Amino acid sequence: MTPSKPEKLIRLSKSCLSTAEKQAVMGVLDREFLGMGVEVQQFEQALSEFFGRPAVCVTNGTAAVHLALQACGIGQGDEVLVPSLTYVASFQAISATGAKPVACDILRETCNLDWRDAEHRLTQRTKAIMPVHYAGGVGDLDGIYAFANRHGLRVIEDAAHAFGTKHMGKRVGGFGDVACFSFDGIKNITSGEGGCVVTDDALVLSKIRDARLLGVEKDTEKRYMGQRSWEFDVTAQGWRYHMSNIMAAIGLEQLKRFSDMSFTRQRLARRYDELLRGHSRIHTLSMDYDAVVPHIYVVCISAMRDRNILQQQLMAQGIQTGIHYQPNHVLSLYRDPQALPLPVTEAVFPELLTLPLHADLTEQDVDTICMQLKAQLT
C-alpha cells in the first residue's frame, strides 16, 4: 500500500511576500524601466539609513562577497581564512578573485569561526579573514576583530544569515570593516535575488560601484538618472553584478515589513529552544534571540544513526528539513591534503539538522515539528 501524503507540508524555508511587493513590481513593469535605476538608488538609501552607513546593492550575496574581496585588494596568491562550515558560495567568492580559501574550524556551541584555530593557519600570504555569521549569530566577533588587528588583516563579514542581528547593541553591518548581505528568496528580507556591501571605506565603495557595472567608471550616477555612459573608461576588472529595479522594488517593501518579520523569526526560535531544551539527544545552538535575527534554526542530534532516514520520517509527517552545510574542505575543488585537520567541523557536521523557519511559520507548526522530531528519536 502506498503511504498517504500528509495533509499539510511545513516548508523548511520560503519567500514571505505581501500584496505590497507584488504591487511594487507591477509599478516597475508598468514604467518599463527594469534595469538599474531610481528604485535601486532608493533601496540603497533605505539600507544606508538602516545600517547607519553606506550600502551598495548588487545582484546577489555571492557577488557582494566577491566584489568586497576584490575591492579590498585580495587577489592572485593571497589567502583568506574562512570557516569550512558554510555554503560553497563563500569559498567560490574567494577563489573567484584568484585567492585561496583556507578552511578553518568552528566553535561547537555556535558553529561560528574559531579565530584561535585560524591563527594556526596564518601564513605570509594571509590577507583577510571572513567570519560567516552562521544561522544569524556572530560568535566571538570581538575576538575575530582583535585577531585581525594584530595581524593586519581585512575583515570581510559574510553576513548573509544575519540581516538585522545586533552585536553589543549595534546592527551587524553598522560597524566594523566590511559586511556583505544576501537578499535571495529565503533570507531575512528578500529582493528576489540581490545583496549588498556595507562599509565606511570610501575607496572600497567606489570600487564596488564601478565593478558591479563591468568596471565602467562613474556609470552608477548615470543609471540613477535613467541614462547610460556612452563614452567611458575602464581601468579595473568588472562584472555584470548590478541590481535591477525589479529586485529593489521588492526589497524596499520587505524592508518596511522587516520589524514584524524579524520579531516572528525570533519568537519562533525561542519557542524551538523552549520545547527542545533538556532533550538528551537534541542540542540547540547558543544564541541570544533578543539580539540575533535567525535565518535558519539548526540543531545537533547526538548518536545520529542515519540522518537521511530521519529526514524521510519527518517528511512523511509533512515536515521538510535541511542540512547546513556540507563542509567545503571535503569538496574536490577545495580539498587540501596538506591542511591541518578540522576536528570540530568533522564531529559536528554529521549531527546537524535544520528545522523549518520562516516568517509564515506558526507556533503550532513549531509545536508539531518538535513533537514529531522527539517521537522519531525515542
Determine the 3-state secondary structure of 215 from DSSP. Answer: coil
C-beta of residue 189 within 8 angstroms of C-beta of residue 258: yes
Alpha-carbon distance values, 367 to 44, 60, 184, 243, 311 (Å) = 38, 34, 28, 39, 17
The closest alpha carbon to 79, from 103, 95, 101, belongs to 101
* Separation between Cα atoms, residue 86 and residue 326, nearest integer Å: 8
Dihedral sign computed on CA atoms, order 134, 96, 346, 373:
positive
**Rounded-to-integer distance, Cα 294 and Cα 262, Å:** 8
Whether the CB-CB separation of 324 and 89 falls below 8 Å is answered with no
Distance CA 30, CA 283 (A): 50
Task: Outline where the chain has alpha helix (H).
Answer: 19-31, 38-51, 61-71, 88-96, 115-119, 141-151, 202-211, 219-224, 245-276, 307-316, 343-348, 363-376
187 is an active site residue: yes
DSSP state letters, 271-336? HHHHHHTT-SSEEE----TTT---S-EEEEETT-S-HHHHHHHHHHTTB--B-----GGGSGGG--
Q: Of 100, 127, 187, 207, which residue is the catalytic one?
A: 187
Kindly tell me the sign of the dihedral angle through the C-alpha atoms of 43, 45, 49, 52: positive
Active site members: 187
